[in-house]
């Protein structure tokens, strides 16, 4: 769609400038007026409009800019599958919209089948959120199978699709299991207090294994204690320090199998 819009704009601009040149070169005055009058008149507006519109159209159909204005992915990516991307580098492109800079994100993307590829995305970022885009940040993206040179940050608002892609990613990396995800989906939500924390020393794909003893408060106010283990990114360990209150899910039929529900650490 972007290519078509740009092509039509260029075609219209060439036609407008071409008509102006043709009119000026072929104009023949009658009477005392000179032939140079063929270059003035309403047709003078055509090249001016063309040279004004073309840069505007190219700017607003630029990568990441249209999405910033519409809040949606471009038509080509809108129905593309969801992948999980890890930011490897960030740099500003020099373009800005309403004083908000455009950044180019270099990404390592894992697709729905577990295959990885390098790609990039451009996105307009509010200044207040610029610091959030840094190497190591994990983002859901839309990609086109067979054309992986660029992707778009997922703007669909489809949290189910993004969560499903993230779950599959975590299972493949050995950081969770289908049983744990089932508890998180069907289990009873509750709050728990961290009573003890130990680090066995196992690291998997950059995530550290932690062992926790928890005092869980049931919805009716009664409590029980349990032990659980979880792989966490380095920044996530601060969330499970002794005395911290954390959200958990459990199945009433098996209260000893508790799953932590922590904010995503990016």
List C-alpha distances in Å: 248 to 22, 164, 210, 244: 75, 19, 15, 12
Give mean pLDDT, residues 245-265.
86
CB-CB contact of 54 with 10 (8 Å): yes
Residue 173 inside a domain? The answer is no
pLDDT at 58 over 70: no
- For the ranges 19-28, 42-51, 91-100, 215-224, the one whose mean pLDDT is highest: 215-224
We report the CATH number of the domain holding residue 227 as 2.40.50
Give mean pLDDT, residues 14-28.
82
Same domain membership, residue 96 and residue 149: yes
pLDDT at 165 over 90: no
CB-CB contact of 119 with 150 (8 Å): yes
Q: What is the pLDDT of residue 194?
A: 96
Distance CA 224, CA 249 (A): 13
Q: What is the pLDDT of residue 241?
A: 94
Range(s) of the domain holding residue 236:
188-261
Same domain membership, residue 159 and residue 82: yes
pLDDT at 111 over 80: yes
Same domain membership, residue 124 and residue 51: no
pLDDT at 14 over 60: yes
Q: Tell me what percent of the chain is helix, strand and coil, each rounded to the nearest 5.
A: 35, 35, 25
Same domain membership, residue 159 and residue 126: yes
List C-alpha distances in Å: 211 to 23, 194, 231: 82, 10, 9
pLDDT in tens, 175-188: 889 999 999 889 99
pLDDT grade for 39, boundaries at 50, 70 and 90: confident
Residue 218 inside a domain? The answer is yes
Same domain membership, residue 83 and residue 51: no
Distance CA 114, CA 165 (A): 10
Same domain membership, residue 95 and residue 154: yes
Give mean pLDDT, residues 83-111.
88
171 burial class (0-12, 13-18, 19+ CB within 10 angstroms)? middle
Distance CA 108, CA 120 (A): 8
Provide CB contacts within 8 A for 100, sequence distance 6+: 68, 124, 125, 126, 127
pLDDT grade for 7, boundaries at 50, 70 and 90: confident
Looking at the structure of the chain, the number of domains it has is 3
Provide CB contacts within 8 A for 22, sequence distance 6+: none
List C-alpha distances in Å: 60 to 5, 16, 68, 105: 11, 21, 10, 19
Same domain membership, residue 207 and residue 141: no
What average pLDDT is seen over the chain? 84
Distance CA 257, CA 216 (A): 12
Residue 123 inside a domain? The answer is yes
Residue 172 inside a domain? The answer is no
Residue 136 inside a domain? The answer is yes
Same domain membership, residue 95 and residue 44: no
Same domain membership, residue 155 and residue 105: yes
Residue 247 inside a domain? The answer is yes
Q: What is the pLDDT of residue 266?
A: 41
Residue 209 inside a domain? The answer is yes
Same domain membership, residue 56 and residue 81: no
Same domain membership, residue 47 and residue 82: no
What is the pTM for the complete model shown? 0.59
CB-CB contact of 213 with 195 (8 Å): yes
Give mean pLDDT, residues 37-57.
77
Residue 101 inside a domain? The answer is yes
């Amino acid at each position: 769609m972007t290519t078509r819009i740009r092509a039509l704009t260029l075609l219209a601009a060439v036609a407008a400038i071409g008509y102006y040149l043709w009119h000026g070169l072929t104009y023949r005055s009658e009477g005392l007026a000179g032939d140079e009058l063929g270059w003035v008149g309403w047709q003078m507006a055509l090249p001016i409009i063309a040279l004004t519109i073309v840069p505007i159209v190219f700017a607003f159909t630029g990568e990441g800019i249209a999405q910033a204005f519409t809040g949606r992915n471009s038509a080509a990516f809108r129905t593309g599958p969801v992948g999980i991307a890890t930011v490897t580098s960030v740099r500003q492109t020099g373009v800005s919209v309403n004083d908000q800079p455009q950044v180019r994100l270099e990404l390592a993307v894992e697709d729905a089948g577990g295959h990885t590829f390098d790609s990039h995305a451009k996105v307009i970022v509010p200044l207040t959120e610029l610091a959030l885009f840094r190497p190591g940040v994990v983002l859901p993206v839309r990609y086109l199978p067979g054309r992986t040179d660029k992707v778009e940050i997922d703007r669909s608002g489809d949290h189910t699709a993004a969560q499903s892609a993230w779950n599959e990613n975590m299972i493949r990396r050995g950081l969770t299991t289908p049983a744990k995800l089932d508890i998180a989906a069907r289990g009873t939500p509750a709050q728990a207090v961290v009573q003890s924390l130990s680090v066995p020393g196992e690291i998997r794909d950059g995530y550290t294994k932690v062992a926790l003893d928890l005092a869980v408060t049931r919805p009716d106010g009664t409590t029980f204690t349990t032990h659980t283990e979880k792989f966490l990114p380095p920044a996530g360990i601060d969330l499970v320090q002794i005395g911290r209150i954390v959200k958990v899910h459990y199945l009433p039929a098996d209260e000893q199998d508790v799953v932590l529900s922590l904010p995503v650490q990016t």
